[in-house]
Amino acid sequence: MSHRGLSASISSLVLVCLGTMPLAAQQNGAFPLTDHFSSAPTAQQAAYSSASSHLGGSAGSCNACDVGTECGTCDDECCGTAGCGSCYTPCGALPVDRSYIWSVSAGAAILHRSDPDAQTIFIDPFTQNEVLNASDFDLGWGAGPRISLVRQSPNSCRDIEFAFLGIDSWNDSRNINANQLRLVNGNPNFLLAGPTFNVSYGSRLYVTEVNLRHHVNGCLAFMVGFLAAELSEEFHIIFGTKGGDLYETSNNMYGFQIGADGKLLQCGDRFSIDGFVKAGILGNNARFDWLAPDLEFVVRENDDNTAFLGQLALTGTYQLSRRWYIEAGYQLLWLEGVALAIEQVDNATVTSAVPLPGSGVATVDTSGSPFYHGALVSLEGRW
């Protein structure tokens, strides 16, 4: 392909990305469609390959030149000031990579969940000293799968992304030896008999996304999508020989999100610094189940409210081969407006204990705001 033909192809691609080229012009040959199953590269694939080679740091290429202009050496004027082999901001220099249709990424997220807010759980009824606080629980680190599937449209600068994140291994427990403890709930004198107390707290989070992304150029894409999230927790108190209270919460959230992802820094041919930011508004059906088997009753309450889910990540991506990439980085995730199990204890009140079965009442507290952060790693294949 001639230099003029290459420049025309890339110019056409930019027009398509920006939405300024009519579809009829694309279909009439002004912009060649990619043949993803051909052994020979199409004009579109060749344009991206040539642009990438110009932006790389190998000998005879340059880092920051016009992708439609040939560069002989790193001293050519089109190389700008980036220099050969150095890192630079690539925005505006790369066309959208249409050299593949499918992208599959599979890996893991290792996230730390924030500690619960301070709230007294147990008091010694004789000394009135605090024995257990909610903030004593350290749910620590949890790990789970992080999977995504992307299907690109061969005729436009848009693609659709399916993504899933799930972690169910946040847990902590405490053992207490005492003859009696007062549980700080809706009853001012609610005593539990020992001599042992085992208290455990567990949490699970699942996030599913379906996003439609529009690529402005080779380093920036905006997205809008459907978002579903589930946060489930259990706070379990086992005391004496048969007593126990179980506080369970579930948050089933559905809504929409907007966001952006892009390439922040390109280093040589193979390595780049990437990132994404997402913000979602969800309708939350929060449910609180209080099970008191020793008093033989169950209380269930529901509440509908609005929740927020935000995500932010910074990653490094290294190209292993033509089709394979490895990614590692740091992710933040936070929720607002959810029901946490441990925060429901002081909203539960026993109204009758004798005779059995007893009874109780409860309300749902949806003021929880857990925060998660940690590492992510994945392997991506494109074809």
In a domain, 143, yes or no: yes
What lies within 8 Å, CB to CB, of 355 at 6+ separation is none
Tell me what pLDDT residue 58 has.
37
Tell me what pLDDT residue 144 has.
97
Tell me what pLDDT residue 10 has.
38
Task: Give, to the nearest 10 degrees, the angle between helix 43-55 and helix 3-18.
Answer: 100
- Domain co-membership, 145 together with 263: yes
Please state whether the peptide bond connecting residue 355 to the residue before it is cis, i.e. omega within 30 degrees of 0.
yes
Which residue from 278, 273, 380 is spatially nearest to 322, judged by alpha carbons? 380
Tell me what pLDDT residue 308 has.
98
In three state form, how does the secondary structure of 279-315 look?
EEEEEEEEEEEEEECCCCEEEEEEEEEEEEEEEEEEE
Tokens of 206: 């699942």
Q: Which residue has the tokens 């969800």?
A: 282
Supply the Cα-derived Rg of the chain in whole angstroms.
Answer: 28
Q: Which residue has the tokens 């109204």?
A: 351
Q: Which residue has the tokens 């959230």?
A: 253
In a domain, 267, yes or no: yes
Tokens of 356: 């059995």
Give the residues across from 163 on adjacent strands: 148, 209
What lies within 8 Å, CB to CB, of 37 at 6+ separation is none
State the pTM of this model: 0.76
Q: Which residue has the tokens 């992710």?
A: 331
In a domain, 92, yes or no: no
Give the residues across from 120 on adjacent strands: 133
| Main-chain dihedrals φ then ψ at residue 380, nearest 5 degrees | -120, 140
Tell me what pLDDT residue 23 has.
38
Instruction: Fill in the DSSP letter of residue 63.
Output: S
Q: Indicate the residue among 35, 55, 85 that finishes a domain.
A: 85
- Domain co-membership, 35 together with 109: no
- Domain co-membership, 227 together with 366: yes
Q: Is 41 exposed, middle or buried (0-12, 13-18, 19+ CB in 10 A)?
A: middle
Q: Which residue has the tokens 């980085």?
A: 329
In a domain, 90, yes or no: no
Number of domains comprising the chain: 2
In a domain, 96, yes or no: no
Q: Which domain, by its residues, includes 12?
A: 3-85
Q: Indicate the residue among 34, 52, 85 that finishes a domain.
A: 85
Residues 284, 192: Cα–Cα separation, whole Å: 34
What DSSP letter does each residue of 97-125 carry, written as one string? --S-SEEEEEEEEEEEEPPPPP-EEEE-T
What lies within 8 Å, CB to CB, of 353 at 6+ separation is 295
Q: Which residue has the tokens 């294949």?
A: 381
- Domain co-membership, 23 together with 171: no
- Domain co-membership, 119 together with 190: yes
Residue by residue, pLDDT tens for the chain (383 residues) are 444 444 444 344 334 334 444 433 333 333 333 333 334 444 444 444 444 444 433 333 333 333 333 323 333 333 333 444 456 655 555 666 667 889 999 999 999 999 999 999 999 999 999 999 999 999 999 999 999 999 988 777 889 999 999 999 999 999 999 988 998 887 766 788 888 899 999 999 999 999 999 988 878 899 999 999 999 999 999 987 666 889 999 999 999 999 999 989 888 888 999 999 999 999 999 999 998 887 777 889 999 999 999 999 999 999 999 899 999 999 999 999 999 999 999 888 877 766 677 778 889 999 999 999 999 999 999 99
Tokens of 11: 């110019």
What lies within 8 Å, CB to CB, of 197 at 6+ separation is 122, 175, 176, 177, 178, 181, 237, 238, 239
- Domain co-membership, 232 together with 314: yes
Tell me what pLDDT residue 93 has.
55
Q: Indicate the residue among 27, 52, 85 that finishes a domain.
A: 85
Tell me what pLDDT residue 20 has.
41
Tell me what pLDDT residue 1 has.
47
- Domain co-membership, 106 together with 10: no
In a domain, 290, yes or no: yes
Give the residues across from 235 on adjacent strands: 201, 247
State how far the alpha carbon of 277 is from the alpha carbons of 222, 223, 224, 294, 320, in Å.
10, 10, 12, 48, 26
Please state whether the peptide bond connecting residue 116 to the residue before it is cis, i.e. omega within 30 degrees of 0.
no
- Domain co-membership, 37 together with 75: yes
- What is the torsional sign of CA 24, 29, 31, 37? positive
In a domain, 94, yes or no: no
Which spans in the chain are helix H? 3-18, 23-25, 43-55
Does residue 266 sit in helix, strand or coil? strand
CATH number at residue 290: 2.40.128
